[in-house]
């Protein structure tokens, strides 16, 4: 009986009882075949494939296909999929004008979520959530347009003109070119392409995290894929979620520029001084080393070495990790580095400013949001997401006119 979730939820419905589970610590919102996490053992698999193998051997669009369609593509399927995505990377002129209307210092996450929610206005034929062809088109359009929009938002923030996509280059190299090319052209560095491809793969899905749950709950009202993903981008912007990589760099900057040494900072964290946290540490599900963080740490060293940057902030980050891994405060609470602890340092070394870190996360997470939304829409047992509450307000009371208050 205890293992029969359906039975228990029916029982609760019949008795009028509700469970109060703040932060959904113990509540599964759905069944899913996409991503498996064992937080105690530090295991992450997409569709059964270990993240380490995908990170080492796969490409971002191949992983996107795997997450969305459920199987690794054949060579023919992959080239057809890639070709279709790359064909749609250009932005409509009016759409460019829409992005161009944002103030230059607008946060790129605001631009990204607004631009995604505007897409159905330009592609009404891709909006119907129950039309298979429309969903397929929306899938391709989202994967295709997100890097172009993110790169454009980045260029605008530096007061530069947009550079259009070049489909011959490939997804990741072209994203780097659209972000960084100037009048003199841009040589993509294969080492950086490899690193960015890997980072995007590591971020591609992570089961029912805050933004993915948001995507699902918005979609459960039969909102279209764009509206659902745009809401997910909003959730991702929070510093406790996708904004954490930006917060890690801000923390490293503060430590570097203050008189505090690393040990003093850690004492402030452990004393919970004004809510100071070691950003990039801790995870709701991982109570062990986040397997993605282990991979990213290696990439941080490779990229910084390749770019010839001896980074004092990397030294500070490693020292913070070293202290935390042997400190009772962190051991007792099972706090380990999460994926975001080292990603910011890599993005920074690549030349991205901190406000681009979360947009990069969004480009990486798009396949996961799409796969989860599609799985939910195809599941006949899906119901509109509608949690209950435990009311703790006033009992009934009489209205008093404003003059008598
Ligand atoms: N630094 C210091 N203490 C921490 C940290 C941290 N980073 N994270 C958790 N703790 C402490 C809490 O103060 C709490 O202590 P207590 O038991 O004495 O009250 C205990 O550990 C449990 O923490 P919760 O906040 O209850 O754990 P929860 O699962 O709700 O939060 C979260 C997880 C939000 C990730 C948290 O660890 C955190 O804020 N980390 C820093 C932000 C961050 O890196 N976010 C990225 C998450 S991964 C991602 O989105 C890709």
What's the pLDDT score for residue 2? 47
Phi/psi for 182 (5° steps) reads -125, -170
For ligand 1, atom 50, the nearest C-alpha belongs to 241
Residue bearing the CA closest to ligand 1, atom 2: 277
Shortest-distance Cα residue to atom 36 of ligand 1: 282
Cα(310) to ligand 1 centroid in Å equals 30
Report CA(277)–ligand 1 centroid distance (Å): 8
Q: Which atom of ligand 1 is nearest to the CA of 242?
A: 50
| Cα–Cα distance list, 205 to 6, 10, 268, 298, 346 (Å) | 26, 31, 33, 21, 20
The model's confidence at residue 312, banded by pLDDT at 50, 70 and 90, is: confident
Which residues in 362-379 are b (16+ Cβ under 10 Å) and which e?
bbbbbbbbbbbbbbbbee
| Residues contacting ligand 1 via CB (< 6 Å) | 23, 240-242, 244, 269, 277-284, 333, 335, 338-340
Q: Provide CB contacts within 8 A for 222, sequence distance 6+.
A: 129
Which residue's CA is the closest to the ligand 1 atom numbered 34?
240
Which residue in this structure is represented by tokens 């706090």? 335
Range in 5-9, 229-233, 265-269 the model is least confident about: 5-9
Protein residue with least CA distance to atom 44, ligand 1: 280
At 300, is the pLDDT very low, low, confident or very high (cuts 50, 70, 90)?
confident
How far away, in angstroms, is 388 Cα from ligand 1 center? 25
Helices (H), 123-241: 132-157, 171-180, 190-202, 210-219, 225-236
Tens of pLDDT, residue by residue over 252-272, are 999 999 877 899 999 999 999
- Nearest atom in ligand 1 to the alpha carbon of residue 280 is 44
Phi then psi for residue 270, to 5 deg, are: -70, -30
Q: Whose CA is nearest to atom 17 of ligand 1?
A: 333
Cα 285 to ligand 1 centre (Å): 11
Determine the distance separating the centroid of ligand 1 and the alpha carbon of 282, expressed in angstroms. 5
Q: What is the model's pTM?
A: 0.90
In the prediction, which pLDDT does 313 show?
86
Which mutation among 282, 287, 330, 332 tests ligand 1's pocket best, with the greatest number of atoms within 8 A of CB?
282
**What's the whole-number average pLDDT of the chain?**
92
- Tell me which residues are annotated as active site: 283, 340
Structure tokens at 152: 């454009």
At 76, the pLDDT band (50, 70, 90 cuts) reads: very high
Instruction: Dump pLDDT digits (tens) for 340-384.
Output: 898 988 998 899 999 999 999 999 999 999 999 999 999 999 999
User: What pLDDT is attached to residue 10?
Assistant: 64
Spatial separation of the C-alpha atoms in residues 101 and 95, rounded to whole Å = 10
What is the spatial order of strands in the sheet that 49-50 belongs to? Answer: 35-38, 43-46, 49-50
Residue 351 Cα to ligand 1 middle (Å): 29
């Amino acid at each position: 009986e205890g293992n029969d979730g359906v039975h228990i939820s029916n029982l609760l419905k019949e008795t009028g009882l509700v469970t109060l589970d703040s932060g959904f610590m113990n509540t599964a919102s759905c069944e899913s075949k996409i991503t498996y996490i064992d937080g105690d053992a530090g295991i992450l698999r997409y569709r059964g494939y270990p993240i380490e193998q995908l990170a080492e051997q796969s490409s971002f669009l191949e992983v996107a296909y795997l997450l969305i369609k459920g199987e690794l593509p054949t060579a023919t399927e992959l080239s057809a999929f890639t070709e279709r995505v790359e064909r749609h990377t250009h932005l409509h002129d009016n759409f460019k004008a829409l992005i161009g209307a944002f103030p230059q210092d607008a946060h790129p996450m605001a631009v990204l979520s607004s631009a995604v929610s505007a897409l159905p206005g330009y592609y009404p034929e891709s909006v119907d959530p129950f039309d298979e062809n429309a969903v397929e088109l929306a899938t391709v359009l989202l994967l295709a347009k997100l890097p172009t929009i993110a790169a454009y938002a980045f260029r605008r923030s530096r007061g530069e003109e947009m550079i259009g996509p070049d489909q011959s280059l490939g997804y990741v190299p072209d994203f780097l070119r659209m972000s960084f090319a100037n009048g003199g052209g841009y040589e993509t560095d294969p080492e950086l392409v490899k690193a960015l491809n890997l980072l995007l793969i590591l971020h591609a899905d992570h089961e029912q995290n805050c933004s993915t749950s948001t995507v699902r709950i918005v979609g459960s009202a039969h909102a279209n894929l764009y509206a659902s993903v745009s809401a997910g981008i909003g959730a991702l912007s929070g510093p406790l979620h996708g904004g954490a990589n930006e917060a890690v760099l801000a923390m490293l900057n503060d430590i570097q520029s203050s008189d505090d040494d690393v040990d003093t900072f850690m004492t402030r964290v452990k004393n919970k001084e004004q809510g100071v946290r070691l950003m990039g540490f801790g995870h709701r599900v991982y109570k062990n080393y986040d397997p993605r963080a282990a991979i990213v740490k290696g990439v941080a060293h490779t990229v910084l070495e390749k770019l010839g940057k001896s980074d004092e902030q990397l030294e500070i980050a490693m020292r913070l990790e070293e202290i935390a891994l042997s400190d009772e405060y962190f051991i007792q609470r099972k706090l380990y580095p999460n994926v975001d602890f080292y990603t910011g340092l890599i993005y920074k070394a690549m030349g991205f400013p901190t406000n681009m870190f979360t947009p990069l996360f969004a480009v990486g997470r798009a396949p996961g949001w799409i796969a989860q939304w599609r799985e939910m829409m195809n599941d006949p047992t899906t119901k509109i997401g509608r949690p209950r509450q435990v009311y703790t307000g006033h009992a009934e009371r009489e209205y008093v006119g404003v003059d008598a208050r």
